[in-house]
Amino acid sequence: MTLFRGLPTAKASFATKHVNRGLLDWDPRKRTRVRFSLMSERTAKLLDLRTSPIAERLAALDDFRAADYEVHVNLSPVVVHDGWLDDWRELLQALGDAVSSPTIRRCTRRTGSPARRTCCVAPQPAGDQTQRGRGTNVRYRRGLERRLLDELLALVDQHSPYLCVRYAL
């Protein structure tokens, strides 16, 4: 981090699912971006073992911004199941409750557009498709992935309009 503090055109960046409050004393001088991964609480209990709880990550956002980090959030993974949109609605509301206005103003930008979102999502082939290689990948039926993504993006627009969705795959 000492190196990046002194480089005017470079920035360190890392994603984490762990809140390391020891980093708050490192003086990044706005030259380090930390991206906290967030997902619904129900999904986190199944997939995010041995990581900081979602509530702890949310509580850390303002602290890292106050310590001069550029703070972003990764909304992932998105796991579709019965009630998944309700779970994401809860998370987005909790995010809004957890962060202060300075964090929102300083750390998030509303630059996404429907056109950008459209070009970030590859069209799916007709019907279910199975790909062979190292493993087996099952893809959504044609149009389903786009519909699910649109539902999530509408939820983000409704409950967290300050977030910029930079890419969605």
Q: Is the pTM of the predicted complex or chain greater than 0.85?
A: no
Q: How confident is the model over 19-65, as pLDDT tens digits? A: 999 999 999 988 999 989 999 989 999 888 899 999 999 999 999 99
Tell me how far apart the terminal alpha carbons of the chain are, to the nearest angstrom.
31
What's the DSSP call for residue 134? S
Q: Name the more confident of 127 and 37.
A: 37
Per-residue confidence band for 115, with pLDDT thresholds at 50, 70 and 90: very low
Radius of gyration of the chain (CA): 18
Name the residue ranges covered by the structural domains of the chain. Answer: 1-108, 111-169
Average of per-residue pLDDT across 57-82: 90
- As a CATH number, domain 1-108 is 3.80.30.30
